[in-house]
Amino acid sequence: MRIIKRNGSEVDFDSAKIAAAISKANAAADVSERLSASDIEEMTDRVTATCELLGRAPSVEEVQDMVERQIMAHGAFEVAKRYITYRYTRALVRQSNTTDDKILSLIECANEEAKQENANKNPVINSTQRDYMAGEVSKDLTARLLLPQDIVEAHNEGIIHFHDTDYYAQHMHNCDLVNLEDMLQNGTVITGTLIEKPHSFSTACNIATQIIAQVASNQYGGQSISLAHLAPFVDVSREKIRREITEEFSETGITVDEQTREKLVDRMLREEIRRGVQTIQYQVVTLLTTNGQAPFVTVFMYLGEAKNEREKDDLALIIEEVLRQRLEGVKNEQGVWVTPAFPKLIYVLEEDNVREGTKYFELTKLAARCTAKRMVPDYISEKVMRELKGDVYTCMGCRSFLTPDRFTDKGIGNIARAKNYEPGKHKYYGRFNQGVVTVNLVDIGLSAHGDMDAFWQIFDERMELCHRAMRCRHDRLKGTLSDVAPILWQYGALARLDKGEPIDRLLYDGYSTLSLGYAGLWECVMALNGKKLTEPEGEELGLQIMRRLNEYTAKWKAAENIDYSLYGTPLESTTYKFAKCLQKRFGVIPGVTDKGYITNSYHIHVTEPINAFDKIRTEAKFQALSPGGAISYVEVPNMAHNLDAVIALMQFIYDNILYAELNTKSDYCQVCGWDGEIEIQEDNGKLVWTCPCCGNRDQNKMNVARRTCGYIGTQFWNQGRTQEIKERVLHL
């Protein structure tokens, strides 16, 4: 068994240290109040047994809390007082150097929390360490100076999660939809250099990757671009190639008929598309931003965004090449093709591509092959999205959706001064999310002790806490000058404001959103009435809670002219933190707190046996009540030889749910060449990734890809998330 120290490092669990700590407190007490040696041994054994039952590495603080409770339960109040006093004295000493210790543990790669905080960051490399070091300073400033103390305490106790405190000290926002069309068609500026409209598709792709890198380094969330914004440059290249070929034939005196010439143009154009797409693919996976990871970018593939039939056909060519290259994968250090995490791909299912006989159905079949092997693309239903939102547009990488704009209705106009603004037409690109605060629904459910009146009272209190925390996010961005990130605010990614101009106007009227996140609906309902979301009573209570969450966002929005939106949080490391906090506050409760994780958003529990179609059908009801973002998934086996089933699922998604994905496995052992599933095995109380063929456990010598939060992770995860991955059941 292992234990996590205060600086984040992980060491072997030593029960002798528990006995020693109790003995020191015991020795400081009056003789008449002291415990016997057998009492101390019994307490030590009980604490050790409790830690073993957790199925994960406890923290030092958790163990000390257990010791306190054992001493108190024994009635040794004088010893307990001595022990608590010692803890308090040590805490005062640590206040001056806790941040220092954490930073040093980061540099020495001994911080387990940092190693497992983000499945797409390598904590060993300098750029990641630099980002984490800055993050520790930001967290310290945020906790001591920038946030109200009750919000800090609620965050630390896992009652809420104030996302991205490591960036809060700076005036930065979460994620955005890049207005790539404006930047490509009307020019932009990158690090002081004017970039004019490109004259070929390959150049447009190259510029797009530079924009992606710049944007990623100036905010901390995901970003999305649309391939439709690149599609017009296909015809630019077509005309350029045709002109060059004609001139070359004329100069050499060669005569060819038009059909032969067009075949040559088409072949050369497809080669340019291949090179351009390859530029995006390889640049994105090889770039490192200032926060030590590849840009968290989503590529949106929607034929309906094309402005005419020629452009739609050209867009189809780009989509086809993107899918083909992703299907192939990228080579790892050994030259073996593996699954990359980014760019994330979203493919829109629409009337022109969803069924046999439609014009672009071959694209959909290719998408099915890609999903079966590489887990992407994810799927948006044009049909359902129009029903729910009235329009079709991409989400951001973390699944957050902007609210449909209301600029036309309110006569707001072009407040971002985009050069591609069209009056009367909806605007999505160039808009962004200000930040996220997530409420731990499980904590509310358990705090009510089965009393629904108490539940709604606590619920209301927590909503106001979240509201104040979100307003902190909003107020932190107010007054931000466009100069802090010229690529975003001055040169078209989000706006074209003047130098020195505040961004405040973009924080209101729905131009940007604030997200109220939620997690653990499954466990919350279970805590309240003992029912599952898949049972009628559980489903109804779950939907009632979702409706109440939406009532609050609507109330805040109406009162403040700020777009609050309900968001199904993609907890990654926080699922583990919430689970540990719940166990600390309420103990281990079967079906509620007996895991090292809680369920993301409204999802059906990963251990629940349910078929793929019923899961999608059930979760669609909840997804419709999560307008700020949500995604559903089905866990499937290797589907490479059952593409008909994949397509059947895609068609079911089109008819029933807005946004969904298929999860499979894509692994490789660098020691023995195993390309099946890398397994998770338990070893001395810790879950370890293990090759079933050769037994390799060296995480640096294997490639593991799993979708954990809607996006794919390719490093490794904390123990809570690893347990969740291990316990997933197949839905097909």
Query: Rounded to whole angstroms, how far apart are CA atoms 647 and 369?
Result: 9
Structure tokens at 28: 């400081």
- Indicate if 693 belongs to the active site: no
Question: Does the active-site annotation cover 335?
Answer: no
Q: How is the chain split among helix, strand and coil, in percent rounded to 5?
A: 50, 15, 35
Catalytic residue among 26, 138, 174, 573: 174
User: Is 398 annotated as catalytic?
Assistant: yes
Q: Is 174 a catalytic residue?
A: yes
Cβ–Cβ < 8 Å for 504, 424: no
| Options 572, 619, 635, 724, the catalytic residue | 572
Please pick, among 435, 710, 713, 720, the residue that the annotation labels catalytic: 710
Burial letters for 284-296: b for 16+ Cβ neighbours within 10 Å, e otherwise?
beebbbebbbbbb
Q: Which positions ≥6 away from 59 have C-beta within 8 Å?
A: 3, 4, 6, 580
d(CA 50, CA 63): 9
Catalytic residue among 398, 639, 650, 669: 398
Is 710 in the active site? yes
Spacing of C-alpha 205 from chain mean position: 25
Cα separation, 618 vs 533, whole angstroms: 9
Q: Which of these, 114, 133, 166, 164, lies nearest to 715 by C-alpha position? A: 114
Which of the following is catalytic: 175, 205, 301, 375?
A: 175
- Pair 503, 497: CB distance under 8 Å: yes
Active-site residue, selected from the candidate residues 400, 447, 515, 601: 400
Q: Out of 237, 433, 482, 550, which one is annotated catalytic?
A: 433
Determine the 3-state secondary structure of 23 from DSSP: helix
Residue 318's CB: how many other CB atoms inside 10 A? 23
The pair of structure tokens assigned to 354 is 């969803």
Catalytic residue status for 379: no
C-alpha 5/C-alpha 87 separation (Å) is: 15
Residue 396 is among the residues annotated as catalytic for this protein: yes
Our answer to whether residue 301 is catalytic in this structure is no
Burial degree of 523 (CB within 10 A; 0-12, 13-18, 19+): buried
Catalytic annotation, pick one of 396, 466, 524, 702:
396
DSSP 708: S
Q: What is the CA radius of gyration of the chain?
A: 27
Contact by Cβ (8 Å): 60, 5: yes
C-beta separation of 501 from 481 below 8 A: yes
Q: Which two tokens stand for residue 137?
A: 């300073």
Task: Just list the catalytic residues.
Answer: 174-175, 396, 398, 400, 433, 567, 572, 710
